[in-house]
């Protein structure tokens, strides 16, 4: 039965949930599910997983822009059909993996991919810089301080060499979020790119009462900077600018409190976070650079600063040492020295848990 | 074909070796996709002005669901009428995102016909994100999705969000739990919570098969389900020799095809608890000291494997910074067996949600509630006993709220007797 | 001129400050000040410091009750006269050091000290348990939850063997404070004994207005548990018992809010703090036992629990490893196992920085 | 001689090998000291009832001073009239507590005549604590103290408290600064602040000669002055050989007279920054990586010594838990030369106090003020530049209070222009 706009309840299907996880498995995975024995990365981007049965699955990982069109997906499908009996998957970091059951098709697949211009860079495995987890930016969201896809493209272009190689001490995970909501694991990445506002919202007193629920707006502010205030006859709010740290949470609650601003907005860079429990426990990312101006279309200062950090790490990190582990070993004083970044007031925490970050020992390096 | 809007700034992003979303979207726009054309123009304007041009959502959605659609309107419909409405639909992905070309082409067909043709594969939570359609298309898309693709919407708003896991047993030798089945089962079990707002705020499940945490559950999920084991690491001493002898590439090749493996420097010395020893022949692990960090296993995957008495550690409360600061998840169940149908775990979840729904304020994440009321209240609510594994360190401040039930006379003093003993 | 009670201003001397630090130095210290070259502990309690000049100073350290009478001080003086030309000092932990310049007098001094009963135990150096830093308790303060000197005596009797020997992995510093004011380094000791109340203050509504400044009382409460309240015509305060964590700070501000109680009060034990910057940074002590009843005159449960902790440490600690470093290495789960202490709700922090203490990793030991 | 009050419980504390304060006080009481007799009775009562029997102070003191005396009254003067008043006098100790028998006997004479004969040698802050006298004795004692003993009272109340240091250069080879002179000089310089309340709350200076911190300055002093060096550790390679060869007892004998020294296990491997190497002959230190923790030095005191370019690290804010939780001091000046007359340091202190006096609330310790206003405000007030050595880690929350002066247009938006670009 076709959809009938006048009767949306007809034949309605709801709450079926997603397809089962195994619905689209290639046969080799069905057969060896839970029985994999070991893996080996044959070359950057090419994984081999061997099952107890001896069966081997080859996964070829390619980078992707994540913001992709149906055109692009159709191309991916065509490749999968040609080499993988139509099977593929996406990784948790938005890379695509072509799943090859027949080893003979591996080399042809690789050369096919290489023949398709820059659409399908092979890499992202092992001690590489894999795809940047990111968010909407100017593409689709209402609170961004920066674009997402544009910055990611510019950064990945510069770091491209690290995507398709295994030459870093360990994996480096970069993430981007376009505002403090941090729609990603930006707070725990080796390097994080964060869109920040630097001007408090302005209050459109005429509109507040119409478009906002004032108690929700007040409750939304983490630093209690917002108070109710009458504006003539109309109910509105007042912002104590000196308590505002520009999170934009009030704007999410109330469109009459815009804070975006071409000169105010920009990028803060964070370093040293991680998620895995390998060797050291998961860690938050810490502030490296408080502010870099928004520089579309290619954000050169941001890109170069990240490059500098990566290269300092590549030069100084020891095998298996994540960025944060490297910094913990050499000390933050050395991190700032080696990267040439400036240490400023913004780096010193002054929020709720600030005192747990101060140096309460005479141990440091001159 | 020349596009409607010149995009000199965006065009700069067609250069360079990384795949260009600009080239991609232009390609589709060039085929006559009007939404893509205007979207490019709008992006160019944002690049020029360094400010975004999307307004708040407004409530749009499909009938009977309280989530799955993010409303979005452009603030320059005068210039870009084709993206005046540009809502997102979140389609719940199959756990860990295996597809075949058949189903993907169907999605493309649907989205070319009824949406912008733009997608995110995938959203940060895990959904297939279909970017940009108009309000009148929502129901038709939903109909086709459920009827023809047998797919459903994902979560948004104060709902359960689409759960996600790492690929687990499908391709990974380290998976200690069946993450995919867990995610699928929970998603099905809690369909109602996923589609209809019933919580104080959003709630996320993520499951990783081992402590590598390849889905970043510990950083991003209100409830993080992470596989582990409680018996001994399995050792294949022959394979150890293979590594030491340079016959097997260390670290599964992640550091390149090198031959200079040094078991002492790379494994023994880097074990965080220093519970390993190698005498040149045999590798020994003092398993009672092992914290299952996976380091030795990942360096010598053919020699070492997780144990066989597997299950999960359950951690709660991860979230992004707003309001009370970012949190990582904290251990509340050090070990639980996770076997289908996950009854014990689901009972725990029900208690957890009851507690949160009863005590959480509007827009208060679970982690914030625990922060506000203390872990003690949570543990009582979910009927768990305190365990040192829940903390990195016991308290170091003396501000102990002693339980009056354990104090003779509780909170009461006998003031008269006191003043008999002590003159004022 | 003698003091004239009718004219206190006559000849008044003020603000002269303490005697100069070198006023009572023995000559050997005057001569070698700032020119010491190395030291060696010849035996427990006996330090030798050698100067660049070759001169050697022998310091004999003896334990002391700290709460001492003029009788006792006179005896100390007599000993100093006999062997040290009258020179001695007190350490930062209330031990006494006899300063011997003439090596020939060292052995006679030691045997003299040993001949004086238990007044002058020799030890407290090196990897020992030295004197317990402590406070007033029932001897002189108004807020104690426990006695100080009595507990210290009972504990030191039990640990006596560790005072005069070097058999621990490292030094162990024990401190005691009789209330949460913590008049000592109790918050950073290897083992801390802390007096705790467990009942909120009761309000003597009749008296509050007369004897207290209500705004100060309210401001004194760390958890904002106190509110002003009228009691008939009189101003008083009300305490929200469920927010009270029994710190007694309000009682310090206001005698009409007593909280001491025989059954409510008792001891909490803390472990793993340190002050020195050696190897690891200074650390706070953490809760080991939330409550042990007050058991005068010899506090047997407290004494035995401390003994248990010390012995677990003595058995498990590695050379140079302080108690806190030992626990950090083996993990808190093992600490509770090895000591047999119970882990309870009270151990889990729920104050301001609580979340920084939770276990945000899958790394732990079963 | 039988004492006035039976003390069966206290008598239990006469047993055991540790010196007994009970035996000591009984000895004095037996000589006819009435205050001691009643004090013993009062203690016995406290032991029996498990509650203390002292009341709050009330304002007592000597004329012109706002500190130095702690008033104390007993709440059972009916039973123990001789300790009805029992005030403490804090006498400022000579820095690091060297005495001769002459001066101590004078103190005993004074205190036997005019006080209880009970003392604390010493109080936790450092004072000679004379425990127990009556109000009418305060002035006579003060007179005798200043005239005959040339001593003065110490601090109490919202004053500077009696500063204290480790014994430093007087007997320790590791002292990098002259702690005793620093403490004496500061005490003299700031006599007024010590005797007359001028602060929001108490303020403590403590100084240790090296990072061992034998006076626990980092845990207990609002301003901690800790000696350190910024050049290289001095190495005597011959002595290193002596240790390795078992000729010199390691750790200065602190672990007993053992001969099994293992330089690798005990020194090289335990160095927190792993900046040492020993090739069997020569010990090398990569000094630029050294954090001056003193470990290697204390293990081999005859081979290693601190450098010669010495000075101090200044840390601020340590305190006990009330109100805002215990704090350790935090680095604010990584390195400062400390040479008499300490002008630069004193200027810093003046700025610091000005800031605290201007901004501190009543009963707010310096550390709490810094917590409340942030380190940034403090650094501005004392004119110091931010330095990574001040933190263990830079901030990890994104709640940055950007300085409006660095933002074009500061906090202002052009609302009209904004709405021209963005339709509402
Ligand atoms: C495919 C994927 C899982 C999925 O469900 O999609 C995956 C797959 C594997 N991961 Fe992962 N990880 C994947 C995301 C992650 C994440 C999550 C993230 O980055 O957001 C993490 C945590 C990151 C962090 O700590 O910040 C992650 C931390 C690891 C680690 C830990 C490395 C470390 O030094 O901390 C390993 C072990 C290793 O590589 O040494 C690992 C190892 C592996 C192995 C070797 C597991 C196996 O035996 O198959 C897989 C191939 C690794 C490789 O690419 O070299 N995987 N892995 C994800 C690929 C992402 C991508 O496209 O780049
Ligand atoms: C689409 C997506 C970003 C992306 O480009 O992938 C996204 C987009 C938005 N997020 Fe998110 N979040 C997305 C994953 C996340 C994640 C990551 C995750 O789920 O693993 C996080 C961090 C983890 C967490 O939940 O804390 C995240 C933390 C937030 C927050 C902050 C929540 C907090 O407690 O701090 C907000 C603010 C809010 O809820 O008002 C938010 C709000 C939003 C809103 C709805 C904007 C708003 O304030 O109303 C964004 C809509 C953008 C749009 O127009 O499309 N989003 N958001 C992700 C969802 C796609 C999907 O379903 O797969
Ligand atoms: C006399 C005294 C200083 C004073 O001005 O009075 C002192 C004197 C010495 N200390 Fe100390 N320390 C003294 C209190 C401290 C304190 C403060 C405290 O305990 O309140 C500490 C910090 C304690 C802490 O970390 O919790 C302290 C931590 C050290 C350390 C670090 C040990 C460690 O493993 O952390 C050393 C080095 C060592 O012994 O290995 C040290 C070393 C020394 C040396 C060897 C220094 C020297 O070269 O002369 C002295 C003899 C040590 C011995 O007794 O074995 N001193 N020392 C104090 C004696 C107290 C007592 O009567 O027991
Ligand atoms: C006598 C002494 C304990 C001892 O037995 O040695 C002492 C005794 C008192 N202290 Fe203390 N404090 C003593 C050293 C300390 C120390 C240790 C230090 O100075 O190194 C501390 C911890 C460090 C610090 O300053 O934070 C200390 C932290 C407190 C506090 C909590 C302050 C805070 O900010 O948290 C209070 C409460 C108050 O000020 O109201 C306090 C209050 C008190 C009062 C005045 C009681 C009160 O609330 O009014 C006690 C008087 C007892 C009496 O009747 O004799 N005392 N007090 C110490 C002073 C002797 C001396 O001058 O040498
Ligand atoms: S990070 Fe902020 S701006 Fe970016 S998608 Fe999420 S909510 Fe929108
Ligand atoms: S932007 Fe954030 S901090 Fe500023 S007023 Fe709005 S909610 Fe408060
Ligand atoms: S989390 Fe563990 S089980 Fe899952 S994919 Fe990563 S390594 Fe494999
Ligand atoms: S898993 Fe980690 S802790 Fe356990 S033995 Fe291996 S390296 Fe050590
Ligand atoms: S710790 Fe408390 S009870 Fe003990 S002396 Fe200090 S203020 Fe008094
Ligand atoms: S005892 Fe402490 S917490 Fe309780 S009411 Fe008094 S000041 Fe507040
Ligand atoms: S702090 Fe340093 S200088 Fe002072 S006594 Fe201790 S070891 Fe010596
Ligand atoms: S002082 Fe400490 S950090 Fe420096 S070399 Fe010696 S052990 Fe290493």
C68 Rama class: left (phi>0) / alpha (psi -120 to 50) / beta: beta
Nearest of C297, C149, C300 to residue D9 by alpha carbon: C297
Residues 6+ apart with CB under 8 A from A184: A133, A134, A135, A175, A176, A177, B124, B220
Question: B58 in contact with A at a CB cutoff of 8 Å?
Answer: no
Looking at residue D360, the DSSP 8-state letter turns out to be P
pLDDT at D1: 56
The mean per-residue pLDDT over the stretch C337-348 comes to 98
In ligand 3, which atom is closest to the CA atom of C124? Answer: 63
Instruction: Take atom 7 of ligand 1 and give the residue whose Cα is closest.
Output: B214
- Give C133's strand partners: C175
In ligand 7, which atom is closest to the CA atom of B174? Answer: 3
For residue A327, pLDDT beyond 70: yes
> What span, in angstroms and rounded, lies between the C-alpha atoms of A273 and A323?
8
H or E segment and range at residue D98? strand D98-100
- Give B311's strand partners: B228
What tens digit of pLDDT does each residue of D45-80 get? 999 999 999 999 878 999 999 999 999 999 999 999
CB contact under 8 A, C362 and B397: no
For residue A305, pLDDT beyond 60: yes
pLDDT at C204: 97
C233: which 2 tokens?
């015509």
The mean per-residue pLDDT over the stretch A327-342 comes to 98
Nearest of C346, A63, C320 to residue D296 by alpha carbon: C320
What's the predicted TM-score (pTM) here? 0.97
B291: which 2 tokens?
């914290």
- Largest Cα span, chain C: 79
Pocket test for ligand 12, best of D270, D287, D288, D295 (most atoms within 8 A of CB): D295
> What span, in angstroms and rounded, lies between the C-alpha atoms of C104 and C62?
19
How close C362 gets to chain A, by Cα (Å)?
7
- Residue for token pair 């299950």: B311
Decide whether any atom of ligand 6 lies within 6 Å of the A80 Cβ: no
Backbone angles phi, psi at C309, to 5 degrees: -65, -45
Residue of chain A whose alpha carbon sits nearest to that of D373? A350
Using alpha carbons, list the distances in angstroms from residue D357 to A241, D350, D383.
Answer: 26, 10, 16
Rounded to the nearest angstrom, the distance between the alpha carbon of C182 and the centre of ligand 4 is 7
The mean per-residue pLDDT over the stretch A309-332 comes to 98
CB contact under 8 A, B122 and A180: no
H or E segment and range at residue D315? strand D310-316
> What span, in angstroms and rounded, lies between the C-alpha atoms of A298 and C212?
66
> What span, in angstroms and rounded, lies between the C-alpha atoms of B276 and B286?
6
**Helix-strand-coil split of chain A, %, nearest 5:** 30, 20, 50
- Give A43's strand partners: A46
What tens digit of pLDDT does each residue of C300-314 get? 999 999 999 999 999
Q: Do residues D231 and D307 lie in contact, with contact meaning Cβ atoms separated by under 8 Å?
A: yes
The mean per-residue pLDDT over the stretch C339-356 comes to 97
Question: Dihedral sign, CA of A313, A314, A319, A323?
Answer: positive
C279 Rama class: left (phi>0) / alpha (psi -120 to 50) / beta: left
Q: Do residues D133 and D87 lie in contact, with contact meaning Cβ atoms separated by under 8 Å?
A: yes
How close A269 gets to chain D, by Cα (Å)?
10
Interface of D with A in 394-413 (CB under 8 A): 394-404, 406-413
- Which chains contact D through at least 3 pairs of Cβ atoms less than 8 Å apart? A, B, C
Q: Do residues C326 and A326 lie in contact, with contact meaning Cβ atoms separated by under 8 Å?
A: no
pLDDT at B57: 82
Residue of chain D whose alpha carbon sits nearest to that of B53? D422
- Does residue A297 have a cis bond before it (omega within 30 degrees)? yes
- Residue for token pair 């050294």: D290
pLDDT at C185: 73
DSSP 3-state assignment of A87? strand
The mean per-residue pLDDT over the stretch D117-123 comes to 98
Per-residue pLDDT of chain B (424 residues; tens, 9 = 90+): 589 999 999 999 999 999 999 999 999 999 999 999 999 999 999 999 999 999 998 789 999 999 999 999 999 999 999 999 999 999 999 999 999 999 999 999 999 999 999 999 999 999 999 999 999 999 999 999 999 999 999 999 999 999 999 999 999 999 999 999 999 999 999 999 999 999 999 999 999 999 999 999 999 999 999 999 999 999 999 999 999 999 999 999 999 999 999 999 999 999 999 999 999 999 999 999 999 999 999 999 999 999 999 999 999 999 999 988 999 999 999 999 999 999 999 999 999 999 999 999 999 999 999 999 999 999 999 999 999 999 999 999 999 999 999 999 999 999 999 999 999 9
pLDDT, averaged across chain D: 97
Query: Comparing A177-191, C168-182, D169-183, which segment has the lowest mean pLDDT?
Result: A177-191
pLDDT, averaged across chain C: 97
Question: Dihedral sign, CA of D225, D226, D232, D236?
Answer: positive
Cβ neighbourhood burial of B229 (10 Å; 0-12, 13-18, 19+): buried
Residues 6+ apart with CB under 8 A from C29: C22, C57, C99, D98, D170, D171
Q: D81-103 burial string, b = 16+ CB within 10 Å, else e?
A: ebbebbbbbbbbbbbbbbbbbeb
What tens digit of pLDDT does each residue of D350-388 get? 999 999 999 999 999 999 999 999 999 999 999 999 999
Q: Do residues A245 and D401 lie in contact, with contact meaning Cβ atoms separated by under 8 Å?
A: yes
Backbone angles phi, psi at D28, to 5 degrees: -70, -40
Looking at residue D20, the DSSP 8-state letter turns out to be P
DSSP string, A131-192: PPB---GGGT-SS-SS-SHHHHHHHHHHHHHHHT---SSS-B-EEEESSTT--SSGGG-SEE
What tens digit of pLDDT does each residue of A105-136 get? 999 999 999 999 999 999 999 999 999 999 99
- Residue for token pair 């074990």: B271
Decide whether any atom of ligand 8 lies within 6 Å of the B295 Cβ: yes
In ligand 2, which atom is closest to the CA atom of B322? Answer: 35
Residue D2's pLDDT band (cuts 50, 70, 90): confident
Looking at residue D148, the DSSP 8-state letter turns out to be I
DSSP 3-state assignment of B159? coil
Nearest of D34, D136, D140 to residue D82 by alpha carbon: D34
Looking at residue C39, the DSSP 8-state letter turns out to be E
CB contact under 8 A, B98 and A21: yes
- Residue for token pair 């820059």: A118
- Does residue D341 have a cis bond before it (omega within 30 degrees)? yes
- Give C90's strand partners: C96
Q: Which residues of D touch C351 (CB under 8 A)?
A: 325
pLDDT at D59: 84
Q: Do residues A314 and D340 lie in contact, with contact meaning Cβ atoms separated by under 8 Å?
A: no
Question: C277 in contact with A at a CB cutoff of 8 Å?
Answer: yes
For residue C24, pLDDT beyond 60: yes
DSSP 3-state assignment of A10? coil
The mean per-residue pLDDT over the stretch A203-208 comes to 96
Question: D212 in contact with C at a CB cutoff of 8 Å?
Answer: yes
The mean per-residue pLDDT over the stretch D120-142 comes to 97
Rounded to the nearest angstrom, the distance between the alpha carbon of B56 and the centre of ligand 5 is 12
Residue C184's pLDDT band (cuts 50, 70, 90): confident
Question: A345 in contact with C at a CB cutoff of 8 Å?
Answer: no
Q: What angle do CA D45, D51, D56 make, to 5 degrees?
A: 105
What tens digit of pLDDT does each residue of D281-309 get? 999 999 999 999 999 999 999 999 999 99
Residue C116's pLDDT band (cuts 50, 70, 90): very high
Determine the length of chain C: 366
Nearest beta carbon to residue C291 from set B387, B399, B402? B402
A318: which 2 tokens?
């020891």
What tens digit of pLDDT does each residue of C122-149 get? 999 999 999 999 999 999 999 999 999 9
- Residue for token pair 């208060």: B364
For residue C245, pLDDT beyond 70: yes
Nearest of D271, D332, D337, D338 to residue D299 by alpha carbon: D271
DSSP 3-state assignment of A172? strand
> What span, in angstroms and rounded, lies between the C-alpha atoms of C339 and C335?
6
E strand residue ranges, B170-222:
205-208
């Amino acid at each position: 039965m076709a959809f009938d706009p006048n009767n949306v309840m007809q034949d309605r299907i709801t709450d079926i949930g997603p397809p089962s996880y195994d619905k689209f498995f290639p046969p080799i995975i069905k057969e060896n599910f839970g029985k994999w024995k070991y893996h080996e990365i044959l070359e950057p981007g090419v994984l081999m997983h061997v099952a107890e049965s001896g069966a081997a699955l080859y996964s070829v990982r390619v980078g992707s822009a994540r913001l992709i069109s149906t055109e692009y997906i159709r191309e991916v499908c065509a490749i999968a059909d040609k080499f993988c009996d139509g099977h593929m998957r996406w990784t948790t970091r938005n890379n695509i993996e072509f799943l090859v059951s027949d080893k003979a098709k591996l080399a042809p697949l690789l050369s096919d991919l290489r023949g398709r211009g820059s659409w399908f860079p092979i890499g992202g495995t092992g001690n590489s810089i894999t795809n940047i987890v990111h968010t909407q930016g100017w593409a689709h969201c209402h609170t961004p301080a920066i674009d997402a896809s544009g910055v990611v493209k510019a950064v990945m272009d510069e770091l491209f060499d690290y995507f398709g190689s295994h030459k870093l001490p360990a994996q480096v995970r970069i993430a981007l979020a376009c505002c403090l909501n941090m729609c990603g694991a930006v707070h725990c990445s080796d390097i994080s790119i964060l869109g920040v506002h630097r001007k408090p919202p302005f209050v459109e007193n005429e509109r507040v009462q119409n478009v906002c629920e004032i108690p929700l707006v007040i409750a939304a502010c983490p630093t209690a900077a917002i108070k109710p205030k009458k504006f003539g006859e109309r109910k509105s709010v007042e912002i104590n600018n000196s308590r505002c740290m520009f999170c934009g949470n009030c704007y999410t609650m109330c469109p009459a409190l815009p804070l975006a601003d071409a000169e105010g907005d920009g990028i803060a860079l964070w370093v040293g976070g991680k998620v895995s429990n390998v060797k050291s426990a998961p860690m938050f990312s810490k502030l490296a650079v408080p502010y870099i101006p928004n520089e579309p279309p290619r954000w050169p200062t941001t890109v170069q600063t990240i490059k500098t950090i990566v290269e300092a790490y590549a030069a100084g990190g020891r095998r298996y040492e994540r960025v944060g582990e490297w910094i913990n070993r050499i000390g933050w004083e050395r991190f700032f020295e080696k990267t040439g970044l400036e240490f400023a007031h913004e780096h010193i925490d002054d929020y709720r848990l600030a005192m747990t970050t101060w140096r309460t020992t005479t141990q440091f390096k001159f | 074909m020349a596009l409607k809007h010149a995009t000199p700034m965006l065009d700069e992003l067609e250069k360079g070796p990384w795949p260009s979303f600009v080239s991609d979207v232009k390609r589709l726009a060039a085929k006559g996709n009007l939404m893509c054309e205007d979207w490019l123009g709008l992006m160019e304007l944002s690049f020029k002005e360094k400010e975004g041009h999307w307004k708040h959502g407004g409530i749009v959605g499909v009938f009977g669901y309280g989530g799955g659609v993010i409303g979005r309107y452009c603030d320059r419909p005068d210039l870009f009428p084709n993206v005046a409405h540009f809502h997102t639909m979140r389609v719940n992905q199959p756990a860990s995102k295996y597809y075949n070309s058949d189903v993907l082409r169907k999605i493309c067909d649907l989205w070319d016909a009824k949406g912008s043709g733009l997608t995110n594969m995938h959203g940060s939570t895990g959904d297939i994100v279909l970017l940009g359609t108009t309000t009148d298309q929502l129901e038709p898309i939903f109909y086709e999705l459920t009827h023809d693709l047998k797919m459903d919407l994902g979560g948004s708003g104060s709902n359960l969000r689409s759960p996600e896991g790492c690929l687990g047993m499908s391709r990974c030798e380290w998976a200690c739990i069946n993450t995919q089945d867990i995610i699928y089962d929970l998603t099905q079990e809690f369909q109602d919570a996923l589609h209809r707002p019933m919580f104080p705020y959003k709630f996320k499940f993520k499951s990783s098969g081992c402590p590598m945490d390849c889905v970043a559950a510990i950083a991003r999920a209100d409830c993080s389900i992470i596989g582990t084991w409680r018996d001994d690491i399995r050792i294949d001493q022959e394979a150890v020799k293979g590594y030491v002898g340079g016959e097997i590439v260390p670290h599964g090749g992640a550091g390149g095809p090198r031959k200079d493996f040094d078991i002492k420097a790379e494994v023994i010395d880097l074990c965080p608890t220093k519970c390993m020893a190698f005498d040149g022949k045999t590798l020994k692990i003092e398993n009672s000291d092992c914290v299952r960090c996976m380091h030795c296993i990942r360096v010598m995957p053919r020699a070492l494997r997780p144990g066989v008495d597997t299950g999960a550690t359950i951690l709660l409360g991860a979230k992004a910074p707003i309001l009370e600061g970012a949190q990582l998840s904290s251990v509340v169940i050090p070990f639980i067996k996770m076997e289908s149908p996950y009854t014990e775990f689901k009972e725990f979840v029900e208690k957890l949600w009851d507690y949160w729904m009863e005590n959480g304020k509007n827009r208060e994440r679970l982690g914030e509630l625990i922060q506000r009321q203390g872990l003690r209240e949570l543990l009582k609510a979910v009927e768990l006993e305190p365990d040192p594994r829940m903390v990195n360190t016991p308290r170091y401040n003396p501000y102990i709220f002693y339980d009056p039930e354990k104090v003779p006379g509780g909170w009461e003093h006998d003031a008269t007797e006191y003043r008999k003993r002590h003159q004022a």
